[in-house]
Chain A
């Protein structure tokens, strides 16, 4: 104000004296310089002195479990709707996006699949420096926030918590992320349907996702997919345990390539060679011979197939079961079929939120099934294919295109994505498969299909050692290599049947995804060995 008065006085003097223009200009320039220096001095003083929000924000020191901080009540983001109007809460999450403008800063806080909007505005509690700090936090940093949940008048469309926002009072960075991210979670989460051509169409391709799997797994769809996968395993275990099954754990390092002979990984085993098991088949059968009656196992399965397709991995998780029966292998067939139906019902009823979450990014058709499951004879399937114009022999195996076509025909007729094909021809099944006594061309074996793709291959096994040797010779298998396997039946073994399921494939086909790598957390194929 004093300066203003001086200016006025100067003006009057000049006008009174009638000084020249040059003199005016010179004096104005001096005045401007004076003002600038004065302003700079004021600002410097203000910055250092006036930050009234110091202590409410900053980069927190590394957490080394120094103290417990039990006074802080942390609330999950998904439960914030119950906290509106109840005072201050603490929330820990990641910075999904941030947008700072003027005296305000908006953050989207993400916790797994839930997101909520946070707002910082310059006021009594929050200073300008604090707002600036919040705006500069890198994406994907982990922050602790003390805030007050407040209701909002209009819905926040871009968040999962749409009815509220967090009015921030304190903000600390617990773990700071690098400023440059190899892929943006927003881009990786974008829906694949190209409905709006005007919108952003930045895509993240599969290889980039897998190379940076730690970031890719943070998308809501991936969080949901792998929770569904855990649900499949849990339901599988619970359903079988209720039916009297016992979980066993089989070795994966074996001494000889027992089944196929090909497609086996070799491992250096001290002075000898060992192999990685293609399936736990032999150990399941030994457990049956050892009077465990009903067994299942969940574990890794290795296939050294040089197949780079959308549905092949070199290592995947196998859900295997084996069961002794009384007189007919359909006792086992119905048990497995009903297990699948129960798994599908469990997923439908308990994991609806996850299925919906995947549906936001990928197109998910509802999975349809019948109860009890549909059982078709192999001959009926072949008849359906011939009716559709496909030429295939009676004892010929189904090719992949024919499998898919048969799946479409079954879907069109019975409206089910899950069905069982029974009585496969004996010539196309492994040596330990029991032939059909009524028709020696066929065998007591079955496959199960989801959306036209095979997920389970099973059969009644030969439990008589002499007959097993005969069948092995008929298949040209060296019986000395499987002597231990044959020997396990010489001390008495009940009739039994079973099958093996690929877990990743079940989840892929249940959701209708197009690539099995989407349902494998860290896929392995002939080209990928990292991460």
Chain B
């Protein structure tokens, strides 16, 4: 084959001569004495030691010196590592201590808050359905004079020998005149004496231009309770033990009767009222009272609801209901 010539001319690369010649620092023997702990320096030192060893084989001391240097370097490195680990461990322990201190502080704060809290009078939770029996300063009932809460008077009479209900009445500024029926109701409330020896429930009755009968026991702890039937339930739970029906086997029955009363009060036509009365008759069946053989809050609810329904006359009631009403009248005395 033919010889191939290069197309490009070859240039000789000449090193510049204007610069000073520089020593190779890593090869300098002086660096051996530095003893730096950095990895680069360590590598350089090691290399330097080897070179020296190669050059001066006959001198044993130099070799020993190199070995010593390596050993010292190793020891330095290990020492550094140990220091790092120790400091990390120390910091970790500090952090743990701080955490423990924080926990202690939080515990103290919680304890402090606990001390400030109110002490409650805890009674048997089972008996009143878990409702906390906070001492009642005052229970406010807002009612419209057109819908008189007769249950209040019924309960006051029924509990005459068990509890005492102290009722104070006020007229709100939205109500110019409360009418004769409300005044008569107030007079009847005043007739029942207040017995200081018995446990007391304070009730403030405010005649007000409002849509629903409403009860407020504490504006900061409880929401208002609407509806006369629900107020009966509440008072039944805070009242005497004989009327607390949560633990009774007739609990559901009593609630059902109270629900029928609630719907009865909302009926607009006489036809539906009569239908509700028939439902009540079914609930009564052969019993003496809606709550069994004894008077209960269900009877109070039915009795006061029927008073508020003048359109429901004795003709609309069944004979069983008429007989029941006579028995109940002896207790509630309205």
- The interface of chain A, by Cβ under 8 A from chain B, is 344-345, 348, 366-372, 374, 380, 383-384, 386-389, 391, 409, 412-416
Interface segment, one of B13-21, B99-107, B157-165, B216-224: B216-224
* Complex CA–CA separation, A348 to B174 (angstroms): 10
B173: interface (CB < 8 Å): yes
- Are A369 and B219 interface neighbours, CB within 8 A? no
Between-chain CB contacts (< 8 Å), 23 pairs: A366-B173, A367-B173, A368-B172, A368-B174, A371-B170, A374-B170, A380-B137, A383-B137, A387-B118, A387-B218, A387-B220, A387-B221, A391-B116, A412-B219, A412-B220, A413-B140, A413-B219, A414-B170, A414-B206, A415-B142, A415-B206, A416-B172, A416-B173
What chain B residues lie within 8 Å of A388 (beta carbons)?
220
Q: Which residues of B, 189-237, contact A by the 8 Å Cβ criterion?
A: 204, 206, 208, 216, 218-221
Residue of A nearest to B139 (CB): A413
A434: shortest Cβ distance to chain B, in Å? Answer: 25
CB 8 Å contact bits of B139-157 with A (1 = contact, 0 = none):
0101000000000000000
Interface size class of B (residues with CB under 8 A): 10 to 19
B288: interface (CB < 8 Å): no
* Complex CA–CA separation, A372 to B208 (angstroms): 13
* Complex CA–CA separation, A386 to B221 (angstroms): 12
Instruction: Kindly count the residue-residue contacts between A and B in the assembled complex, taking CB atoms under 8 Å apart.
Output: 53
- Are A413 and B172 interface neighbours, CB within 8 A? no
B223: shortest Cβ distance to chain A, in Å? Answer: 11
- Are A415 and B172 interface neighbours, CB within 8 A? yes
What chain B residues lie within 8 Å of A409 (beta carbons)?
219-220
Residue of A nearest to B216 (CB): A413
What chain B residues lie within 8 Å of A348 (beta carbons)?
173
Beyond A387-B118, A387-B218, A391-B116, is A370–B140 a contact (Cβ under 8 Å)? no
Residue of A nearest to B219 (CB): A412
- Are B221 and A371 interface neighbours, CB within 8 A? no
Known: A368-B173, A369-B172, A389-B220. 9 other contacts (CB 8 A): A367-B173, A368-B174, A370-B206, A391-B116, A409-B220, A413-B219, A414-B140, A416-B172, A416-B173
B171: interface (CB < 8 Å): yes
What chain A residues lie within 8 Å of B221 (beta carbons)?
387
- Are B171 and A370 interface neighbours, CB within 8 A? yes
A141: shortest Cβ distance to chain B, in Å? Answer: 43
* Complex CA–CA separation, A368 to B175 (angstroms): 10
B21: shortest Cβ distance to chain A, in Å? Answer: 84
- Are A369 and B173 interface neighbours, CB within 8 A? yes
A375: shortest Cβ distance to chain B, in Å? Answer: 9
- Are A372 and B173 interface neighbours, CB within 8 A? no
What chain B residues lie within 8 Å of A415 (beta carbons)?
142, 172, 206, 208
* Complex CA–CA separation, A387 to B208 (angstroms): 26
**Which 5 pairs show the lowest CB-CB distances between chains A and B?**
A412-B219, A370-B170, A371-B171, A388-B220, A369-B173
- Are B170 and A372 interface neighbours, CB within 8 A? yes
What chain A residues lie within 8 Å of B138 (beta carbons)?
380, 413
* Complex CA–CA separation, A175 to B221 (angstroms): 64
What chain A residues lie within 8 Å of B206 (beta carbons)?
370, 414-415
* Complex CA–CA separation, A387 to B216 (angstroms): 14
What chain A residues lie within 8 Å of B219 (beta carbons)?
409, 412-413
B137 touches which one: A371, A374, A384, A416 (CB < 8 A)?
A384
* Complex CA–CA separation, A412 to B138 (angstroms): 13
* Complex CA–CA separation, A374 to B140 (angstroms): 12
- Are B173 and A371 interface neighbours, CB within 8 A? yes
